[in-house]
Structure 1
Amino acid sequence: MWDKFQNIFRIPELRHRILFTLAMFLVFRVGSFIPIPGVDVGALARTPIFQTGAFGLMNIFAGGALQRMSIFALGIMPYISASIIMQLLTVAIPRLEQLSRQGEEGRRKITQYARFAALPIAAVQGVALTVWIQNMEGGAFVSTQGVGFILPAVITMTTGTIFIMWLGEKITEMGIGNGISMIIFAGIVAQIRPAIGNVIKITRTGQLTPFVLLIFAIIAVFVTAAVVLIYRAERRVPIRYARRIVGRKVYGGQSTYLPIRIGGVGVIAIIFAISVLLLPSTLARFIPHPITQEIARWLSPGALLYYVLYALAVIFFTFFYTAVVFNPVEVADNMRRYGGFIPGLRPGRPTAEHITTILTRVTFVGALFFASIAVLPVILNRELLFNSFPFGGTSILIAVGVALDTVQQMESHLLMRHYKGFMKGA
């Protein structure tokens, strides 16, 4: 295994990509400690509002930047919300649907539209957040109030979101892995050390027994192993290509398979579900009215309604995003164009229907698994650790999914240069 890791640094391109990604992580972490002007960081550190609930989850994805009210306090969530809107509009607006079918160039334009849409979303979230911070405990967390605090803070946080978007694009272009997912991954990993320290602290006070801690550790290992298994699992549809003779050359006559992954869109579906579900509860907290506060309580992590809606949202976005990225009719047409067929089925419509049936079943299994993993560990954390460990199934799913995708990209670089990969049998 050590030889395989050494092979990474023997490839100049891969080595440069990994070092560039680590450098971007360092920039992201430094920015998460730079506070916006006019905020009392010491007073904010003593309040528990950013430890649990909707703000606690947003704080994890931002790598603790929200708790410190840094220039990256909004994180990448405005861009994710804009991406969700663009994905939904792609289905509803024919012009965007045509762009999505134009390959890489069309997707690049849709991504550009999402960047523009992220700006007003970040500005609105920044105004709501700064007004809420200003009004907390009679302005105890800010040194100045009014426009003199709100305007510079909103401009700073919106600019921070734009900068994070740029970091993500540069990681995708010049680093390793998907840039946006890697930024979220970096934020989650950065919170592991404080979380472990918190668990050790309450264990020393006697609130947690070593036996309960051991049980939770075993469950965490089991959940992580199950996530890895599901992410790597796939349904292989056999495909055969007819033999063709062109001149003196013979083409085709070989057998292969179409891989349909169970966890193909797991990370994206979970991120989308969280973004949609946190929006109403977050906005409701900013409106000082009993009805909105009750809505925020019911839609915050820890409430039964939140878990039910969260599971349903994960299932919905798993099916939705699978339908966006995988078109069985297009796959069947491409197979027929190159002389491929599934044994026992005619090319064309019967093949497309067969692939659709398999895709629906595989997606259903994956959606149920992701919904269960996203909800159950949070409940166990609340019952066993008294919410002392801020990580749940959501963080595990995102972290493991991004890590596996990154390892697969590194392995592809190794295999192209005739090195052994990380995966078994590679």
Structure 2
Amino acid sequence: MKKFIQTLKNIWSIEELRQKILFTLLLIVIYRIGSHIVLPGIDPIRLEQLNANNANNGILDLINTFAGGAFNMASIFALGIMPYISASIFMQLMTVLVPTFQKMQKDGESGRKKINQYTRYLTVAVTIVQAFAYVSYLRQTSGPAIMENFGAAYFTISTILTLTAGTMLVMWMGEKITDKGLGNGTSLIIMVGILARLPQSFFQELTSRSTRAGNILIFIVEIAVFIAIILGCILLVQGVRKVPVNYAKQLTGNKQFGGARQFLPLKVNGAGVMPIIFAQAIMFLPTLFTLGSTSSIGKAFTDHKNIWYMVIYSVVVIGFTFLYTALIFNPRQIADNLKQNNGFVPGVAPGQPTADYIGTIMDRITLPGAILLALVGILPGIAELVFVGMQPSFSTFFGGTSILIMVGVILDTLQQIETQLLMRQYDGLMKSGRVQGRQTTSAVQI
């Protein structure tokens, strides 16, 4: 405890780090306040009554999770950061598939600025489309909550403009946190939205267990399992396969450069959380063509406790993991970079043989990573089956996107804090070892 207090004092004593933390907290507070401001023309009391009787599932629940509950509350930040995430993913894929964007990405800082500018323009377009769809969703599910003195055309136009402005403000706050704050702004905003639902879910589960005799012990076991899952997710997020790389010695004047042995870290889970997001979206699509939620097909694709849901979901996650990893990971480019910098893998010829060798290793470690990622995705359903009576809102924190995003973002943020401490010759956050983040250079860091 004494070391912890001393670490907090060291953090606060660094002016730059203190300003970063305060700036980040300020923007996060603004974001959470805006998440509770209801759209013009919506009666919040009626809306709360409607939400108490309705429950989202599929992709809508995913959006509501990322928005910190603002989606169901019809907030000005109802769409949250999701349009920006969608635009960023699209632009990231374009830099892999389209030669023009590939060249732009290799142009350094100027190319990065152009890609960011195109991402912002695309975010506006995506937000307008999603805002129009959200208006239709409000009329269908929350029609009684819309005030009568708001005309249909006026409500549609004002809502689209408000949601677009809200999303652009959230995007701006995310970029400002990344530039002047602590951690990746987009990731932090998503994590704050997820964590905002944790205390309520925790107390709901505690209240539910405490009302029945002997269930407090079950609640304690649930917390122990939850901690074990967090530890497992940390291993999954940080797991790497180190490929040894040697660099040839170079003599420049009387000085010798190179000759050092380093390692090329290949991530076990190179795709991050994206396969789970894609899988949840795919699992939601078949429900649009079913006759209703009572049909067997609709139940199989919406009930995460259903065995067929788990099987299909796992297969989709594994497939998307290989697909997304193949899109963002280019062994040939890595081999060319090593060759240009006089680096080589011991026992492997430079060029195409190195690319084949790295690609083979990546394929081997991606399979167990994909299986573990699929297991994390179906853990909420397994938790509800094992712990009978668990609240669905609490079970969502036992796996899926929630736990992976929280673990990854917290690790990245702690790594930045520790880096600032070590740069100023303070002790790190841990007595032994160092805090490591996700070690990713992906444009979409969630």
TM-score category of the 2 structures, normalised to the smaller one: 0.7 to 0.9
Q: Which runs of 5+ in 2 are unaligned?
A: 435-446
Inter-CA distance 392–186: structure 2 relative to 1 (3 Å threshold): same
Q: Counterpart of 2:358?
A: 355
Query: 8 Å contact 1:267–1:402 — kept in the other structure?
Result: no
Tell me, yes or no, if structure 1 residue 367 matches structure 2 residue 370: yes
Tell me, yes or no, if structure 1 residue 225 matches structure 2 residue 225: no
Q: Distance in 1 between matches of 2:132 and 2:298?
A: 18
Q: Counterpart of 1:62?
A: 67
Inter-CA distance 119–277: structure 2 relative to 1 (3 Å threshold): farther
Q: Counterpart of 1:141?
A: 145
Q: Distance in 2 between matches of 1:421 and 1:50?
A: 47
Query: 8 Å contact 1:81–1:272 — kept in the other structure?
Result: no
Matching residue's letter, 1:13:
E
Report how many aligned residue pairs link the two structures: 420
Deviation digits for residues 54-112 of structure 1 (CA, Å, limit 9, x no counterpart): 33332222112122111011111122222233333444433223323334433432332
Q: Counterpart of 2:422?
A: 415
Tell me, yes or no, if structure 1 residue 6 matches structure 2 residue 13: no
Q: Distance in 1 between matches of 2:222 and 2:352?
A: 49
Please, which moves more after superposition, 160-169 or 369-378? 369-378
Q: Counterpart of 2:443?
A: none
Inter-CA distance 114–273: structure 2 relative to 1 (3 Å threshold): farther
Q: Distance in 1 between matches of 2:375 and 2:119?
A: 30
Local SS of the residue matching 1:266: coil
Matching residue's letter, 2:423:
M
Local SS of the residue matching 2:76: coil
Q: Distance in 2 between matches of 1:31 and 1:281?
A: 34
Q: CA deviation at 1:237?
A: 1.3
Q: Distance in 1 between matches of 2:274 and 2:126?
A: 20
Q: How does 1:95-114 map to 2 (within 5 A)?
A: 95-114=100-119
Q: Distance in 1 between matches of 2:335 and 2:403?
A: 35
Q: How does 1:118-157 map to 2 (within 5 A)?
A: 118-136=123-141, 139-144=143-148, 146-157=152-163
Matching residue's letter, 1:419:
Y
Tell me, yes or no, if structure 1 residue 186 matches structure 2 residue 192: yes
Local SS of the residue matching 1:123: helix
User: Equivalent of 1:71, from 64, 67, 76?
Assistant: 76
Q: Distance in 2 between matches of 1:368 and 1:272?
A: 16
Q: Distance in 1 between matches of 2:196 and 2:414?
A: 19
Query: 8 Å contact 1:21–1:176 — kept in the other structure?
Result: yes
Local SS of the residue matching 2:111: helix
Local SS of the residue matching 2:318: helix
Inter-CA distance 340–41: structure 2 relative to 1 (3 Å threshold): same
Q: CA deviation at 1:316?
A: 4.3
Query: 8 Å contact 1:281–1:297 — kept in the other structure?
Result: no
Inter-CA distance 6–271: structure 2 relative to 1 (3 Å threshold): farther
Please, which moves more after superposition, 97-106 or 189-198? 97-106
Q: CA deviation at 1:279?
A: 7.1
Q: Counterpart of 2:444?
A: none
Q: CA deviation at 1:164?
A: 0.8
Q: Which runs of 5+ in 1 are unaligned?
A: none
Matching residue's letter, 1:26:
V
Q: CA deviation at 1:208?
A: 9.0
Q: Counterpart of 2:23?
A: 20
**TM-score normalised by the chain length of structure 1:** 0.87
Q: Distance in 2 between matches of 1:12 and 1:381?
A: 46
Q: Counterpart of 2:272?
A: 266
Query: 8 Å contact 1:267–1:398 — kept in the other structure?
Result: yes
State percent identity of aligned pairs.
Answer: 40
**TM-score normalised by the chain length of structure 2:** 0.84
Matching residue's letter, 2:200:
P
Q: Distance in 1 between matches of 2:214 and 2:190?
A: 30
Deviation digits for residues 141-175 of structure 1 (CA, Å, limit 9, x no counterpart): 21135223222122211211111111111111111
Tell me, yes or no, if structure 1 residue 254 matches structure 2 residue 260: yes
